[in-house]
Amino acid sequence: MIAEAVTTRIAVFSGKGGVGKTTVAVNLACLLGQRMYQVGLLDADITGPNVLQMMGIDEAPRIRDGKLLPHSKHGIRTVSLASLMPPESAVIWRGPMRSKALEQLLDETDWGEMNALVVDLPPGTGDEALTIAQHVSPQLAVIVTTPQEVALLDARRAISFALKLEIPIIAMVENMGSMVCPECGHAVDLFGTGGGKREAEVQQVDFLGSIPIDPGARRAGDEGTPIVLGSPASAVAQALQGIAGEAKKLLSA
Ligand SMILES: Nc1ncnc2c1ncn2[C@@H]1O[C@H](COP(=O)(O)OP(=O)(O)O)[C@@H](O)[C@H]1O
Ligand SMILES: [Mg+2]
């Protein structure tokens, strides 16, 4: 069981899709990798896997002694079902099959020595999240939300789910709260920033930080160079660095 071998285990959740889970997971993995961790990154979004794209990985997977070898890029070991499927083909498996695929990805990968694992989940409270809770036993659930009420409503569900799964630390990240002006670099309040922090207080969970919207973050994702590596001085990268620092503090408390 991976939980026994890996000291730091983080799962990135959300109630709603498109709020920035994969962006947070990929950048968090890269930041942990810079802080002396040997980091694995598992794409557990079986039906919407985006991790390879955001990590800039396009090579075929390799198998050694019957085990899958993680892709090695940006110093991170990345595993995704997407590299085992024809590109752009849809996975239309029912829940038990998606769970089985995840179990296999976890167990039949030669992860090597690794002391941190970041898992990128699909939105919602489905089979993938249950499987990861059982097989990875994360110590930290990072719940990503945007500040709008609809996203916060779904974030509450994700928090309740993480509580039921008995994940010891639950912490929120607000994404896309403000917008970075491409002209002057100043952050402009767009959707009412602060919603995530207030919600974390109401729900009595930790708050890791708020990430502004920046077209550069979207570009970085599309181009496969995580923004914390490509533009470490940008407002988004700085926010992500703060978030990684807070996560580390919570994990070592
Ligand atoms: N802070 C941000 N600023 C600009 N674009 C962002 C930001 N966060 C995420 N994105 C972009 O929004 C889209 C959805 O983000 P993604 O991380 O894939 O969300 P999820 O995994 O929750 O579906 C992606 O194209 C991503 O690059
Ligand atoms: Mg995603």
Write out pLDDT tens, residues 56-88: 999 999 999 999 999 999 999 999 999 988 888
Q: Using a 6 Å cutoff on CB, does residue 53 contact ligand 1?
A: no
CA distances (Å), origin 232, targets 26, 37, 108, 228: 14, 19, 34, 5
Q: Using a 6 Å cutoff on CB, does residue 220 contact ligand 1?
A: no
| Residues at Cβ < 5 Å from ligand 2 ion | 21-22, 50
Nearest 5 degrees, angle CA 171-CA 106-CA 102?
Answer: 80
> 225: phi > 0 → left, psi -120 to 50 → alpha, else beta; which?
beta
CA of 36 to the centre of ligand 1 (A): 26
CA 51, 55, 59, 64 torsion-angle sign: negative
pLDDT tens track for 166-224: 999 999 999 998 888 878 877 787 766 688 999 999 999 999 999 999 999 999 999 99
Encoded amino acid at 177, one letter: G
Cβ contacts of residue 194 below 8 Å, gap of 6+? 147, 174, 177, 210
Report the nearest atom of ligand 1 relative to the CA of 48. 23
pLDDT tens track for 91-108: 888 999 999 999 999 999
Q: Using a 6 Å cutoff on CB, does residue 138 contact ligand 1?
A: no
Mean pLDDT to the nearest integer, 25-38 = 93
Mean pLDDT to the nearest integer, 32-44 = 93
For residue 187, the model assigns a pLDDT of 77
- How is 40-97 classified by DSSP, letter by letter? EEEE--SSS--HHHHHT--SPPEEETTEEEPEEETTEEEEEGGGGS-TTPPP---HHH
pLDDT band at 35 (very low <50, low <70, confident <90, very high): confident
Q: Using a 6 Å cutoff on CB, does residue 21 contact ligand 1?
A: yes
Map out the domains of the chain as residue ranges: 2-252
- pLDDT above 80: residue 36: no
For residue 181, the model assigns a pLDDT of 82
Report the nearest atom of ligand 1 relative to the CA of 16. 22
Q: Using a 6 Å cutoff on CB, does residue 214 contact ligand 1?
A: yes
pTM, to two decimals: 0.96
**Under CATH, what is the fold of the domain 2-252?**
Rossmann fold (3.40.50)
For residue 253, the model assigns a pLDDT of 84
CA of 65 to the centre of ligand 2 (A): 31
Atom 1, ligand 1: residue with shortest CA distance: 213
CA of 147 to the centre of ligand 2 (A): 18
pLDDT tens track for 115-152: 999 999 999 989 999 999 999 999 999 999 998 888 88
CA of 21 to the centre of ligand 2 (A): 5
For residue 113, the model assigns a pLDDT of 92
Q: Using a 6 Å cutoff on CB, does residue 23 contact ligand 1?
A: yes
CA of 29 to the centre of ligand 2 (A): 14
CA 190, 191, 197, 201 torsion-angle sign: positive
* Listed residue (30, 25, 19) closest to 231, CA to CA: 30
